[in-house]
Amino acid sequence: MSGKIVKVSGPLVVATGLSDANMADVVRVGNQRLIGEILTMTGDSAAIQVYEETSGLGPGAEVETTGYPLSVELGPGLIETIYDGIQRPLEKIMELSGATITRGVEVPPLDRTKKWAFQPVMTPGTKVSAGDVIGTVQETAVVLHKVMIPPRMSGVIESVSPAGEYTIEQTVAVLKTDKGETVELDMIQRWPVRIGRPYKHKYTPKTPLQSGQRVIDTLFPVAKGGTAAVPGPFGSGKTVVQHQLAKWSDVDIVVYIGCGERGNEMTDVLREFPELVDPRTGESLMKRTVLIANTSDMPVAAREASIYTGITIAEYFRDMGYDVAVIADSTSRWAEALREMSGRLEEMPGEEGYPAYLSSRLAQFYERAGVVECMTSEGERRGSLTAIGAVSPPGGDLSEPVSQATMRIVKVFWALDAGLAYRRHFPSINWLRSYSLYLDALKPWFDENLGPDFLQQRERAMAILQEEAGLNEIVQLVGKDSLSPADQLTLETAKIIREDFLQQNAFSDIDSFTSHDRQRRLLGLILGYDKLCRSAIEKGASVMDLFEIPARDRLGRAKGVDVSEYLAAYDSIYADMTKQIEELAAKGGLDV
567's CB contacts (< 8 A; 6+ apart) are 521
State which residue has the least CB distance to Mg ion: 239
Q: From residue 142 to residue 171, what is the string marking binding to ligand ADP with x (rule CB under 6 A)?
A: ------------------------------
Q: What is the largest CA-CA distance in the chain?
A: 98
3-state DSSP assignment of residue 405:
helix
User: Using CB under 5 A as the criterion, which residues of the chain lie in contact with Mg ion when the complex forms?
Assistant: 238-239
Least separation in angstroms between residue 233's CB and ligand ADP is: 7
Q: Nearest 5°: phi and psi at 484?
A: -70, 155
Least separation in angstroms between residue 424's CB and ligand ADP is: 8
Spatial distance between the Cα atoms of 123 and 141, rounded to a whole number of angstroms:
26
Q: Which stretch binds ligand ADP (CB under 6 A): 161-169, 185-193, 500-508, 578-586?
A: 500-508
Cα angle vertex 427, ends 426, 429, to 5°? 120
**CA-to-CA dists, residue 389 to 16, 226, 403, 553, angstroms:** 38, 12, 11, 38
- Is residue 321 within the footprint of ligand ADP (CB under 6 A)? no
- Cis status of the peptide bond prior to 427, with omega within 30 of 0: yes
Which residue stretches of 367-413 are H helix?
A: 401-409
CB 549 within 8 A of CB 580: yes
196 vs 237, which CB is nearer to ligand ADP? 237
CB 443 within 8 A of CB 263: no
Range 366-425, binding ligand ADP (CB under 6 A)? none
Distance linking the first and last C-alpha atoms of the chain: 96
Q: Which stretch binds ligand ADP (CB under 6 A): 117-125, 438-446, 450-458, 504-512?
A: 504-512
215 vs 523, which CB is nearer to ligand ADP? 215
238 vs 318, which CB is nearer to ligand ADP? 238
3-state DSSP assignment of residue 531:
helix
Least separation in angstroms between residue 421's CB and Mg ion is: 12
Q: Which residue among 174, 506, 515, 547 contacts ligand ADP (CB under 6 A)?
A: 506
- Is residue 505 within the footprint of ligand ADP (CB under 6 A)? yes
426 vs 454, which CB is nearer to ligand ADP? 426
236 vs 430, which CB is nearer to ligand ADP? 236
199 vs 273, which CB is nearer to ligand ADP? 273
Contacts of range 571-576, beta carbons closer than 8 Å, 24 or more positions apart = 573/525, 574/525, 574/528, 576/550, 576/551
Least separation in angstroms between residue 271's CB and ligand ADP is: 14
Least separation in angstroms between residue 328's CB and ligand ADP is: 13
CB 78 within 8 A of CB 288: no
- Among ligand ADP, Mg ion, none, the one that 234 touches (CB under a kind-dependent 5 to 8 A) is ligand ADP
The answer for 121, left when phi > 0, alpha when psi is -120 to 50, beta otherwise, is: alpha
167 vs 434, which CB is nearer to ligand ADP? 434
Pairing mode, strands 370-373 and 116-120: unpaired
- Is residue 207 within the footprint of ligand ADP (CB under 6 A)? no
Q: Which residue among 199, 248, 426, 501 contacts ligand ADP (CB under 6 A)?
A: 426
Q: Nearest 5°: phi and psi at 184?
A: -90, 125
- Is residue 507 within the footprint of ligand ADP (CB under 6 A)? yes
Least separation in angstroms between residue 142's CB and ligand ADP is: 26
335 vs 537, which CB is nearer to ligand ADP? 335
161 vs 296, which CB is nearer to Mg ion? 296
166 vs 273, which CB is nearer to ligand ADP? 273
Spatial distance between the Cα atoms of 454 and 102, rounded to a whole number of angstroms:
55
- Among ligand ADP, Mg ion, none, the one that 426 touches (CB under a kind-dependent 5 to 8 A) is ligand ADP
430 vs 504, which CB is nearer to ligand ADP? 504
153's CB contacts (< 8 A; 6+ apart) are 129, 130, 175, 177, 183
- Among ligand ADP, Mg ion, none, the one that 370 touches (CB under a kind-dependent 5 to 8 A) is none
Least separation in angstroms between residue 51's CB and ligand ADP is: 25
Spatial distance between the Cα atoms of 564 and 554, rounded to a whole number of angstroms:
17
Total residues contacting ligand ADP by CB under 6 A comes to: 14
Least separation in angstroms between residue 486's CB and Mg ion is: 42
Burial of 281 (0-12, 13-18, 19+ CB in 10 A): middle
Q: From residue 35 to residue 54, what is the string marking binding to ligand ADP with x (rule CB under 6 A)?
A: --------------------
280 vs 423, which CB is nearer to ligand ADP? 423
Least separation in angstroms between residue 237's CB and ligand ADP is: 3
Least separation in angstroms between residue 150's CB and ligand ADP is: 38
- Among Mg ion, ligand ADP, none, the one that 332 touches (CB under a kind-dependent 5 to 8 A) is none
Q: From residue 229 to residue 258, what is the string marking binding to ligand ADP with x (rule CB under 6 A)?
A: ---x-xxxxxxx------------------
Least separation in angstroms between residue 126's CB and Mg ion is: 49
Least separation in angstroms between residue 506's CB and ligand ADP is: 4
Residue type, position 589, single letter? G
Spatial distance between the Cα atoms of 191 and 36, rounded to a whole number of angstroms:
17
The DSSP secondary structure of 541-592, one letter per residue, reads --HHHHHT-HHHHHHHTGGGS-TTTHHHHHHHHHHHHHHHHHHHHHTSSS--
105's CB contacts (< 8 A; 6+ apart) are 88, 93, 96, 97
Least separation in angstroms between residue 286's CB and ligand ADP is: 20
Which of 16-33 are b and which e, b meaning 16 or more Cβ less than 10 Å from the residue's Cβ?
A: bbbeebeebbbbbbbebb
168 vs 229, which CB is nearer to ligand ADP? 229
Least separation in angstroms between residue 261's CB and Mg ion is: 5
Q: Roughly what angle, to the nearest 10 degrees, separates helices 485-497 and 453-478?
A: 120
Q: Which stretch binds ligand ADP (CB under 6 A): 89-97, 136-144, 248-256, 502-510?
A: 502-510
The footprint of ligand ADP (CB under 6 A) covers 232, 234-240, 426-427, 504-507
